[in-house]
Amino acid sequence: DTAVSQTPKYLVTQMGNDKSIKCEQNLGHDTMYWYKQDSKKFLKIMFSYNNKELIINETVPNRFSPKSPDKAHLNLHINSLELGDSAVYFCASSQGRGVTNEKLFFGSGTQLSVL
């Protein structure tokens, strides 16, 4: 069973469209994250939720909106897609919100291509 699963794996869309990426974890973790990996492989955190509460909200355009219906799910909705949004988006989870005893479990990524 996949611990952290993201769908879709690939997403190709036109500029201006609205799209969502879904993430689910079956590890019973309390905290989930979205990271963005750009074309130069830089990974940067976007959001983090702990028990459905937003705890990390980095400086990202407000076209990006995370939604956590329950602690096992963290979806990422993107409005008015732009070329610069093309990247690989990784979902991750951890048991708690502190780094000292936790490790992140990552999904396999969603390759978003905006044309």
Partner 1 sequence: AQSVTQLDSQVPVFEEAPVELRCNYSSSVSVYLFWYVQYPNQGLQLLLKYLSGSTLVKGINGFEAEFNKSQTSFHLRKPSVHISDTAEYFCAVTFAGGYNKLIFGAGTRLAVHP
CB 110, CB 52: distance < 8 Å: no
Q: Is 27 a binder of partner 1 (CB under 8 A)?
A: no
Taking the complex as a whole, the smallest distance from the CB of residue 18 to partner 1 amounts, in Å, to 25
Choose, by CB under 8 A, the member of 1, 14, 28, 40 that binds partner 1. 40
Task: Decide: is 56 part of the binding site for partner 1 (CB under 8 A).
Answer: yes
Piece of 12-20, 62-70, 75-83, 93-101 that binds partner 1 (CB under 8 A):
93-101
Q: Does 106 bind partner 1 (CB under 8 A)?
A: yes
- The amino acid present at 65, given as its one-letter code, is S
For residues 50 and 95, give the distance between their C-alpha atoms in angstroms, rounded to a whole number. 9
Q: Are 6 and 25 in contact (CB under 8 A)?
A: no
Q: CA separation (Å) from 17 to 25, 79, 87? A: 27, 7, 16
Name the minimum Å distance from CB 63 to partner 1. 21
Asked if 68 touches partner 1 (CB under 8 A), the answer is no
Q: Is 66 in the site for partner 1 (CB under 8 A)?
A: no
SS3 39: coil
28 binds partner 1 (CB under 8 A): no
Q: Tell me which residue has tokens 């939720």.
A: 49
